[in-house]
Structure 1
Amino acid sequence: MEEEDNTVGAPAGPERDVSADGALGGGPYSNTSASTAGSVIVGDCSVVIDANLTSTVTPLEPQARPHPVRRDRAEPLNRPHRQLQGRAAELAELGEAVRAAQDSGGIVQLVGPAGVGKSTLMRHAARLLAPGPDGALFLSAARREVADLAQEMFEACYEVEDYAPAGRDLRRLMARVRMTVYIDEADLTTEQVAELADMAPQATFVFASRDRLPGDVDVVEVPGLSREMALDLLVAWGLRRPQHQGKLVEAHDLCTPMLGRPLLLLRAAGLARIESSDEPTVPRPTDAEAILQRLFDRLDTEQQNVLRLLATLDAELSPSHVGTLCGISDPIGVCADLTDLGLVQAEERGYRIASDALDEAQRRNRPFPAEQLCDHFSRWATLPTITPTQVVWHGAALERAMQLAQEQGVPHVAVSLARAVSPQLARSLRLGVWIRVVDEGRRAAWQADDERAKAYFTHEKGIQHLLTGRHVTATAHLAEAAELWQQLGDTDAADATRESMTAIRSPSGTAAGVSVLPGAADAAGAGAATAASAGIGCAPWMLIAILSALFSTTLVYTTHNDEPRKGAQQTYVEEIGEARQRLFSGQLIYTDPHSMGLVAGAQPRRFQVAIRGAWRQAKPGEEQAPVKAGAQIGVKLHCSGNVRCTPLSSERQNVLSRSDKATWTWALSARDAGKASVALTVTAYLGDGNTVLVEKPPQMLSLDVAAAPSDNSWYSWITDLWRWMSNAITTLGGIAVSLSAIAAAVVMLVRRRLPPADVADNGTPQPPRGIRRRLRVPPVRQTRPRPVHPRRQHTEVRTSQPNQRAAAHREPRE
């Protein structure tokens, strides 16, 4: 996505005298003459393209290949901009880095967040900085394959028509080219950057992206503008500078939530112009989301309809298509007004919606009808005045229209659109776009159960594999297409498909586009191609051809016994290559670590990662980055130091289409306050195995772990006092209970050690101490003395009974 510039005046859009699709100056179908039929040369093959039939491939002799002629120098073909403001230091730093890279080799990277002005700085650098000896070139890598970027570089340096050299020839032709290549929106993997740099080893590459590239790269960071520079930029965009000190402070406060990003400041200026009845002034401080919503509320019907269209396609679209589909007479004027508001961004040949305005536009509007979009583009692409270059410019919009048709349940219109644009894309030599459109056409054909479309797109898929050197899979697809044509009774198409299979082997006996002896798998494929091209007839020579193919296969297996698994290995490599081609650019959304509020020793906080097939606006507290999707994705969060990560979801999930979404969650906790870091790794796998298709370089995220907060408010003081008193009472109660238990134990011990009470000398029992007052000893009754008689002995017994009863009272106590 191109970012809005920080220039003086409104950003420039496509010029009116430039014909992007016929359209900037006239109707949508006016341009130079071109036919959908034609032929191109890709590597060692000649491809004949017919819109009514399928493509056919024949091998070329070496002497029949084109001989490109070097141009004097490459020129950056990017739209002009006005003078930069507030970026002199960054431009000078970038110039020094580029000069050092031109002298000693290397790669320069421009890094900064979305909306900070990287694209504008790159465009000015391509025009203002000293180019290489062979010139300078500006390219955008948004939704483009490395092979398509390499073809653009080749065409900028050489004069030749309808020719795309193979990998080895391209490296030979570009080996001594010393130009400076500025590539914007270069959210590429490390492998893709290395592959692109290897195409032109003496060229200097400058990449602009949000994330840093690993390795030996000279990085130039683009920060947000200072408050003074941001205020100057607002004034340059037509706002009156505040004179009162209080208003000046408010203006400075406005720049703080805008983070010094020109795109957000442009919206603030646009809102001030709309809402001010007299001379517009800097608006009061508010957040960026509120400004965006207020801008949407102020749009008129035409502007809302244009945003609805651009949000539906989420791709660059020329003004002519905007005017035709939205039914407005001045599409350039409407798009320019939306650009001044920061809702739409001017691209090379058209306009597209700003990425952070996409979600709001989609929330407020229904998608455009897919039938209307596909019908419009189908009629436009088949007009004789439309060139392949014009069609490939709108490749992303065409791809999205076909996806939308499948989502809305009308796959037949997607089939029609893919059939209409496929020949033009093949002639454009941008194989990446052509491959993606053919893939969408195949999916739509199977969804619509269109047998002829199945055969057509299966044939074209086989041709694509053949041109990219995947001969085993090419043989399989072409054989399947021939069978489908045969079942439909179309013998001419079946014969044409079998004829293309013969191109898998060149007349010299080597595979087309390959300079080494093929393995057993290719020999088997060649044998199948020979048999298929001959047909299953009754003539003896046909049988001889089949036996010869089988004999050659056996001979290869016998001769090359030192490489018994070379065919299987090549099949494996081609399977990986095909799976990588099916990958597309998705969106990685993850929790902003600085917004988590991680506190040492507190409850864990959730950290979420989502991968979406389609892009949406990142919400507050989120960060986003591009990522490869279209496979099974594994996401890992590596924590170190005092941070602990607990996974709460599966490590691997599927994100196979643009409508898919997968979410990963972790619980993060920290022991101590201070700085910490975590690393986020995203990996795309081949199927459900462990073979890695592509892995995004680890994304290092810094964390600020705060200490436990201390609250000094009056309510907190009362709460703390009550908590202290409760704890004190509880503690004292515990102490009292403990002391009581100790005292009881001491008393019991003392009582157990006291001696038993003694009986008085007169025989009167001594009552226990505790009951002495309650125990009454019965008095001893005295009797008169009588004469001694034998029965008087009983008197002593009677007098002793009270003492026995007293003793009986004393025994239980003791």
Structure 2
Amino acid sequence: MGQPTGEFRQEAVRTRGGELVSGGLLVTVGTPDGSEVRPCPEEWRPQPRRIGRSEPARGPVGGPGRAVGPLALGAGPADLPLLDREADVAQLLGLLAEGRSIRLVGQAGSGRSALLSAVAEAAGDLAPGGVVQLCGHHRTAADLLQDLFAATHHAPGFRPDPGQLAAHLARVGAVVVIDEVEPTGAELEQLLAAAPDCAFLISAAPDSPLLPADSRLQDHPVAGLSRAACLALAARLAGRPLDAAEKAWAVDLWFESEGLPLRFVQAAALLRQRDVAVDALVAAEEDRLDVFGAVRAPVHDPDPAVREGELRGRVPLPSVAETASPAVRLAEGLSEPAQAVLRLAVALGGECPTAPHLPALIDVGQGESALHELADAGLAVSIGGHHRLTAGALELLAPQWPARGCTDGAAQHFAWWVGHSSVSLEQIAAEAEVVIGVLLADRTAGRHASVVRLARAAAPALALALRWGAWERVLDLGLEAARATGSKADEAWFHHELGVFAVCVQEPGRATAELETALTLRAAVGEPRGAAAARRMLDLLRAEGRQLPSGGPAAPAPPRRPVIRAIAQVPWRFKTTPGTAGRTRRTAIAASAAVLAIGVLGTAVALTVAGPEEHRGNDPHSSSDDGTGVPAGRPSPRPSLSPAAGAASPESPGESPTADETEPEPSASTSGPSHSPSASKKPSKSPTAGETATPQPSTPGQPAQPPVVPPVQTPVQPGPPSVTHGPAPSPSSSPTTPSTSPSASSSPPGTPTPTGSASPSASPTTSP
């Protein structure tokens, strides 16, 4: 991250300015008189380009993965393989392959984020659009939709309106993984409906409300780990095998915590702190031996490992109460830089700034190591490009770790940072929660003037970074601080910016009220240019018979689909339950078969719901009296959406697949009448018992079958037909095979042409 250096003087603070397109509006941000909106010229409107495929991110969702801390084996919790979650991963992959959307529910610290990352990494081949990983921490539904659009389309500086967004996301077929989703209820359902061809895998807060009965989501509980997995996790993070006393202590913790992985990450940190105390005892004993010699040294086993085990028994293990709430004890065992970062995070409401900010804020040079030390201790987790405290740590540490002035000057630093030219908009978006934390800390401390300065500097930058949820939050906090300071000019500026925000999100009533207030205040304080800017915005809103232009009509919410199209067409790689593979692809196969048949015949061909012994007649050269493709004297077939059954599967001799398990023949449907050279050299072969190449025709005594669309042929006696592979004779040639022998020329009506064989038009018919 670009982190410029220099003095933080008020005159060095600059306001970031620029332009962006919101729907059909051109928004100019960061002007001295406030932002302005005008209709965007047609030639300036962006043309989003679809990104072909999104690759899953490595590591935890939404942030850097590998944790490098002071562990004996040099690995942190994020480096460990996922323990005891194989069944969960397989089940979630199967549901996603069927197009289902899942919400992970479980207690705080149950490992939902780690499970999301594992599924996201394994689901790369499920959908044509790949895997899209988003961070839901402090994001609104509109922010998440914008993030999904930005991850699947190349359109920098463009925020589509709802109509445009629905049109662009309707063509996206991907697995969308979102960690810590905050929207609930109708807002969450609208988020899912905006991308109907995507399968969502999200995790929500433990206290999230129940899903409605018609929700597209289904809950998947995430329970704790087994006892063996918890013991293995503690030993791996402790860097050594556990002794008998530690195993008994870990089993008690497993019963108390119900196997939550976070508790054992913290328990391993407590064991490492205990090892530090044991190492101190060993070092003290060696010092006494060097000073006094062997005369006064205690007699002990010469093996150092045995002696270390004896000394470890002198250091008591943490009690059950300490392991139930270990945050305070873990914080006391951290290094000084890590404690300083922890104190700053507590002061900012649990948000940790990234490492380049730490030297300017708390004079910590090794900020990256301090953040990783917090993560290794189970006190912080990486999400959304920065770190935040884990669940419950802020409530436990806030009374014990007061701010002590660690946020003094933070607002001035970030006001200078967001306006610096070396800082990118992506970096500002990643620090949005930290900036809001600084504003809240200064508001609590009563530094309202600092809040106003930071809010006026950060609001344009967040608007250009398209973090509009944070943009609105910063404007609200700045307006509150401006009222507290009594500055009417600042208050008018924030009202004006809130009016522009309301115009961009298509809330004309709110926009009119905010802009009228801004106009009144600016006229009162004598700001003619600012008043003119507010008046221009009001004229745009109040123009008679004129509405704000948009990129397209506001489309209604797409209907909820139980199975998405794009992912249902991808065959599932893992083993499935017998009889379910056909049902998962029924809709896609039927639709593709119908479209291909229409393209070949040039007319609408009706499909029938057929059993194992019913087949389609798709001869494009069969005659018809009425021009509908139905032979004379036969009733019209019954329309259906299911393709006809095909040949029996070679894996199951003697059984014919159902209509749901049959896939269309692409070579016979797309290329039309053609001859395969390789197929023409194959000799004729009659099927034997148990190897039925084509199903049997109906025999007397069986129920009447629904009418089909066959070629004009004379039925023959019931018997096992054969498939002939050979060159197709012309229609005028006579068959060399006697009419009494079964052959391809005397196939029963509706027998499909095998792939690679001659087309139905080349099959001669027998004379009646």
TM-score, normalized by the shorter chain, greater than 0.5? yes
Q: Is the 8 A contact 1:51 1:423 kept in 2?
A: no
Q: 1:476 & 1:247 partners in 2: Cα distance?
A: 65
Matched with 2:106 is 112
Matched with 1:309 is 344
Q: Deviations over 1:328-353 (max 9, x none)?
A: 11011111112111112223422222
Letter in 1 for 2:376: D
Residue 252 of structure 1 deviates from its aligned partner by: 2.0
Letter in 1 for 2:273: I
Q: 2:134 & 2:496 partners in 1: Cα distance?
A: 32
Matched with 1:179 is 174
Q: Deviations over 1:414-445 (max 9, x none)?
A: 00000111110111122211111111111110
Rg bigger for which structure?
1
Matches within 5 A, 1:559-570: none
Matched with 1:155 is 150
Letter in 2 for 1:53: D
Please point out which of 421, 429, 444 is paired with 1:384: 421
Please point out which of 116, 124, 136 is paired with 2:118: 124
Q: 2:97 & 2:39 partners in 1: Cα distance?
A: 44
With over 3 angstroms needed to count, the CA separation of the structure-2 counterparts of 1:27 and 1:197, relative to structure 1, is: farther
Residue 302 of structure 1 deviates from its aligned partner by: 2.4
Please point out which of 202, 205, 214 is paired with 2:212: 214
Letter in 1 for 2:363: G
With over 3 angstroms needed to count, the CA separation of the structure-2 counterparts of 1:238 and 1:439, relative to structure 1, is: same
Q: 1:296 & 1:468 partners in 2: Cα distance?
A: 44
Q: Is the 8 A contact 2:130 2:174 kept in 1?
A: yes
Residue 284 of structure 1 deviates from its aligned partner by: 6.0
Residue 448 of structure 1 deviates from its aligned partner by: 0.8
With over 3 angstroms needed to count, the CA separation of the structure-2 counterparts of 1:337 and 1:412, relative to structure 1, is: same
With over 3 angstroms needed to count, the CA separation of the structure-2 counterparts of 1:251 and 1:367, relative to structure 1, is: closer
Residues 1:145 and 2:140 aligned together: yes
Matched with 2:92 is 94
Letter in 1 for 2:411: C
Q: 1:39 & 1:291 partners in 2: Cα distance?
A: 49
Letter in 1 for 2:429: V
Matched with 1:48 is 28
Q: 2:347 & 2:249 partners in 1: Cα distance?
A: 37
Matches within 5 A, 1:628-639: none
Please point out which of 384, 396, 400 is paired with 1:364: 400
Q: Deviations over 1:569-620 (max 9, x none)?
A: xxxxxxxxxxxxxxxxxxxxxxxxxxxxxxxxxxxxxxxxxxxxxxxxxxxx
Residue 181 of structure 1 deviates from its aligned partner by: 0.5
Please point out which of 313, 318, 330 is paired with 1:295: 330
With over 3 angstroms needed to count, the CA separation of the structure-2 counterparts of 1:243 and 1:143, relative to structure 1, is: closer
Residues 1:443 and 2:442 aligned together: no
Q: 1:205 & 1:39 partners in 2: Cα distance?
A: 33
Query: Which deviates the most, 298-307 or 427-436?
Result: 298-307
With over 3 angstroms needed to count, the CA separation of the structure-2 counterparts of 1:254 and 1:240, relative to structure 1, is: farther
Residue 138 of structure 1 deviates from its aligned partner by: 1.0
Letter in 1 for 2:347: T
Residue 508 of structure 1 deviates from its aligned partner by: 8.1
Residue 285 of structure 1 deviates from its aligned partner by: 6.1
Query: Which deviates the most, 261-270 or 474-483?
Result: 474-483
Letter in 1 for 2:190: E
Please point out which of 185, 194, 197 is paired with 1:199: 194
Q: 1:269 & 1:353 partners in 2: Cα distance?
A: 18
Q: 1:143 & 1:445 partners in 2: Cα distance?
A: 24
With over 3 angstroms needed to count, the CA separation of the structure-2 counterparts of 1:38 and 1:506, relative to structure 1, is: farther
Please point out which of 413, 435, 444 is paired with 1:398: 435
SS in 1 for 2:320: coil
SS in 2 for 1:454: helix
Q: Which has the higher contact order (CA 8 A, sep 6+)?
A: 2
Letter in 2 for 1:361: L
Letter in 2 for 1:319: A
SS in 2 for 1:363: coil
Q: 1:408 & 1:308 partners in 2: Cα distance?
A: 16
SS in 2 for 1:220: strand
Please point out which of 510, 517, 537 is paired with 2:547: 510
Q: Is the 8 A contact 2:161 2:551 kept in 1?
A: no
Q: Is the 8 A contact 1:180 1:203 kept in 2?
A: yes
Residue 214 of structure 1 deviates from its aligned partner by: 3.2
Q: Deviations over 1:117-144 (max 9, x none)?
A: 0001101211222342112111121211
% of aligned pairs identical? 27
Letter in 2 for 1:231: L
SS in 2 for 1:272: helix
Q: Is the 8 A contact 1:381 1:420 kept in 2?
A: yes
Matched with 2:49 is 69
CA RMSD of aligned residues (A): 2.6
Q: 2:542 & 2:127 partners in 1: Cα distance?
A: 41
Residue 303 of structure 1 deviates from its aligned partner by: 2.3
SS in 1 for 2:241: coil
Query: Which deviates the most, 36-45 or 122-131?
Result: 122-131
Q: 1:501 & 1:330 partners in 2: Cα distance?
A: 52
Residue 107 of structure 1 deviates from its aligned partner by: 1.9
Matches within 5 A, 1:543-692: none
Q: 2:111 & 2:6 partners in 1: Cα distance?
A: 31
Q: Deviations over 1:475-530 (max 9, x none)?
A: 2221221222222222112112212223326898333339789xxxxxxxxxxxxx
Q: Is the 8 A contact 1:503 1:512 kept in 2?
A: no
Q: Deviations over 1:648-674 (max 9, x none)?
A: xxxxxxxxxxxxxxxxxxxxxxxxxxx
Matched with 1:420 is 457
Residue 165 of structure 1 deviates from its aligned partner by: 0.7
Please point out which of 499, 513, 535 is paired with 2:536: 499
SS in 2 for 1:74: coil
Residues 1:60 and 2:43 aligned together: no
Q: Is the 8 A contact 1:510 1:516 kept in 2?
A: no
Residue 262 of structure 1 deviates from its aligned partner by: 1.5
Greater strand percent: which structure?
1
Letter in 2 for 1:306: V
With over 3 angstroms needed to count, the CA separation of the structure-2 counterparts of 1:37 and 1:371, relative to structure 1, is: same
Q: 1:327 & 1:507 partners in 2: Cα distance?
A: 58
SS in 1 for 2:494: helix
The unaligned stretches of length 5 or more in structure 1 are 1-18, 518-814
Please point out which of 330, 354, 370 is paired with 1:334: 370
Q: 1:255 & 1:500 partners in 2: Cα distance?
A: 62
SS in 2 for 1:502: helix
Matched with 1:266 is 265
Q: Is the 8 A contact 1:505 1:512 kept in 2?
A: no
Q: 1:259 & 1:285 partners in 2: Cα distance?
A: 17
Residue 64 of structure 1 deviates from its aligned partner by: 4.2
Q: Is the 8 A contact 1:228 1:252 kept in 2?
A: no
Q: Is the 8 A contact 2:226 2:259 kept in 1?
A: yes
Q: 1:516 & 1:308 partners in 2: Cα distance?
A: 50
Q: 1:308 & 1:242 partners in 2: Cα distance?
A: 32
Q: 1:219 & 1:506 partners in 2: Cα distance?
A: 49
Greater helix percent: which structure?
1
With over 3 angstroms needed to count, the CA separation of the structure-2 counterparts of 1:247 and 1:326, relative to structure 1, is: closer
Q: Deviations over 1:72-130 (max 9, x none)?
A: 112334444533222222211211121122xxxx4211111110100011012112223
Residue 392 of structure 1 deviates from its aligned partner by: 2.1
Letter in 2 for 1:45: L
Letter in 1 for 2:320: T
Residues 1:325 and 2:361 aligned together: yes
Q: 1:357 & 1:333 partners in 2: Cα distance?
A: 20
Q: Deviations over 1:301-343 (max 9, x none)?
A: 3222211101111224211223321211101111111211111
Please point out which of 37, 42, 46 is paired with 2:17: 37
With over 3 angstroms needed to count, the CA separation of the structure-2 counterparts of 1:285 and 1:483, relative to structure 1, is: closer
SS in 1 for 2:225: coil
Residue 65 of structure 1 deviates from its aligned partner by: 2.3
